[in-house]
Amino acid sequence: MKRIGITGQQGFVGSHLYNTLGLFPDEFERVNFKRAYFDDAEALDEFVRKCDVVVHLAAMNRHESEQVIYDTNVKLAKDLVASLERTKSTAHILISSSTQEERDNLYGKSKKEGREAIASWAEAKGGKLTGLIIPNVFGAFGKPFYNSFVATFCYQLTHREQPIIAHDGEVTLIYVQELVDEIINQIRREEHRPHCVIEHTATKKVSEVLALLEGFKEMYLENGEIPILENSFELNLFNTYRSYMDYGNLYPRHFQLHTDSRGTFVEIIRMGIGGQSSYSTTVPGITRGNHFHTRKIERFAVIKGKALIQLRKVDTDEIFDFYLDGTQPSYVDMPIWYTHNIKNIGNEELITMFWINEPYDPTDPDTYFVEV
């Protein structure tokens, strides 16, 4: 059992790493970190003493003053080194740096100097360092206008704003879950690698990314259709896009009913990809679900009876309640990292149609049980 602490635990990459480590309770114990620890040497030391591994992700990415970025990032690294020395820690340190290390800007310089400061500690004290050189990261829940242009574009396209391309350059990218998986791999390897280059998984022009996102907006947000997703990058980008949608005001979405003398026809889903379709019956008072997915796209469609569908992002307390009635058939799509359930709140049998983008695989189910 490794005890792992993450500086920047509540940040973009930090929160994904923290949540993913929680999927391995028999292998990792998470040591909670608060930003205020960097302002309190005793609290920082107490945190460091508890850790077998420290993943140093705390950093400033953007500020109107590059000097503030530089000063902040270098200080955070040096504060961590000071704590490691005071506590005589033998923890394995992983620090996130950037491919911008070699660029002529203060952000890249700050990341390089921070990594080198911890490398000097490791060399002098016999410590272990993995210095992660990371390309541009995108993914669900990134902060728009701060973490990446992808986060900004996704936010704008889901909030009635039009993105503007300042420079249509080619960008190397890695999905946040791919990065997290690699960080966990480096934790398991337990190797001293002061300069560990994390390979990008996609290279795209900014305009290519925007075109895909605009297609998602038209097909999915406006028409409810699952787009064709040609590869893992497009699936990851689609799930990223979905994370910026205003779920509280979006669902339930009502189906179009085609009714004549014979009865009613309803199209449940139109999609450019395959997957698995199924249905369930649920007796009154029973709840199904209470689980979340990290990659799957899923739709619940109520066609008979009354249901309460609930969603909660796994690291928050906010619960979204959606009431659906088969007299007006409706659906709710499940975002990644949101635990969800469905309860029969009526007096008759509930019939629900389900669609998910990949058939269930018991060896890789991507299904984690957590109460809403």
Binning pLDDT at 50, 70 and 90, where does residue 112 land?
Answer: very high
Mean pLDDT, range 69-89, rounded to an integer: 96
Does the pLDDT of residue 68 top 80, yes or no? yes
Does the pLDDT of residue 75 top 80, yes or no? yes
Please tell me the predicted confidence (pLDDT) of residue 225.
Answer: 92
Residue ending a domain, choose from 163, 184, 200: 200
Instruction: Flag whether 219 is in a domain.
Output: no
| Predicted model pTM | 0.93
Mean pLDDT, range 185-205, rounded to an integer: 96
The CA distance from 342 to 344, in Å, is: 7
- Of 35, 33, 58, nearest in space to 46 by CA: 33
Does the pLDDT of residue 63 top 90, yes or no? no
CB atoms within 10 A of CB 42: 10
- Of 6, 122, 2, nearest in space to 54 by CA: 6
Instruction: Flag whether 151 is in a domain.
Output: no
Instruction: Flag whether 300 is in a domain.
Output: yes
Mean pLDDT, range 277-282, rounded to an integer: 93
Locate 280 and state its tokens: 């369930």
Binning pLDDT at 50, 70 and 90, where does residue 244 land?
Answer: very high
Q: How many residues does the chain have?
A: 372
Does the pLDDT of residue 227 top 90, yes or no? yes
Residues 320 and 328 sit within 8 Å (Cβ to Cβ):
no
pLDDT digits (tens, 9 = 90+) for 33-51: 999 999 999 999 999 999 9
One domain for residues 132 and 261: no
Instruction: Flag whether 226 is in a domain.
Output: no
Does the pLDDT of residue 270 top 90, yes or no? no
One domain for residues 32 and 134: yes
Please tell me the predicted confidence (pLDDT) of residue 267.
Answer: 86
One domain for residues 9 and 103: yes
Residue ending a domain, choose from 185, 200, 215: 200
Binning pLDDT at 50, 70 and 90, where does residue 61 land?
Answer: confident
pLDDT digits (tens, 9 = 90+) for 253-264: 999 888 888 878
pLDDT digits (tens, 9 = 90+) for 334-371: 999 999 999 999 999 999 999 999 988 999 999 999 99
- Of 79, 12, 15, 16, nearest in space to 48 by CA: 79
Binning pLDDT at 50, 70 and 90, where does residue 328 land?
Answer: very high
One domain for residues 181 and 261: no
Binning pLDDT at 50, 70 and 90, where does residue 101 land?
Answer: confident
Q: What CATH number corresponds to the domain at position 43?
A: 3.40.50.720
Binning pLDDT at 50, 70 and 90, where does residue 271 land?
Answer: confident
Residues linked to residue 338 through DSSP beta bridges, in sequence order = 313
Please tell me the predicted confidence (pLDDT) of residue 260.
Answer: 80
One domain for residues 187 and 299: no
Q: Rounded to 5 degrees, what angle do the CA atoms 22, 27, 32 make?
A: 45
Instruction: Flag whether 103 is in a domain.
Output: yes
Please tell me the predicted confidence (pLDDT) of residue 359.
Answer: 87
One domain for residues 191 and 263: no
The CA distance from 314 to 338, in Å, is: 6
pLDDT digits (tens, 9 = 90+) for 291-314: 999 999 999 999 999 999 999 999
- Mean of per-residue pLDDT scores for the chain: 95
Binning pLDDT at 50, 70 and 90, where does residue 111 land?
Answer: very high
Q: Which helix (H) or strand (E) holds 178?
A: helix 176-189
Instruction: Flag whether 295 is in a domain.
Output: yes
Instruction: Flag whether 135 is in a domain.
Output: yes
pLDDT digits (tens, 9 = 90+) for 134-144: 999 999 999 99
Binning pLDDT at 50, 70 and 90, where does residue 235 land?
Answer: very high
Amino acid at 45: D
Number of domains in the chain: 2
Give the percent of the chain with pLDDT over 70. Answer: 100
End-to-end Cα spacing for the chain? 27
Please tell me the predicted confidence (pLDDT) of residue 46.
Answer: 98
Range of 342's domain?
A: 251-369
- Of 338, 334, 341, nearest in space to 317 by CA: 338
Q: What CATH number corresponds to the domain at position 335?
A: 2.60.120.10
One domain for residues 7 and 129: yes
One domain for residues 185 and 308: no
One domain for residues 47 and 185: yes
Binning pLDDT at 50, 70 and 90, where does residue 226 land?
Answer: very high
Instruction: Flag whether 210 is in a domain.
Output: no
Please tell me the predicted confidence (pLDDT) of residue 262.
Answer: 82
One domain for residues 132 and 196: yes
The CA distance from 75 to 67, in Å, is: 12
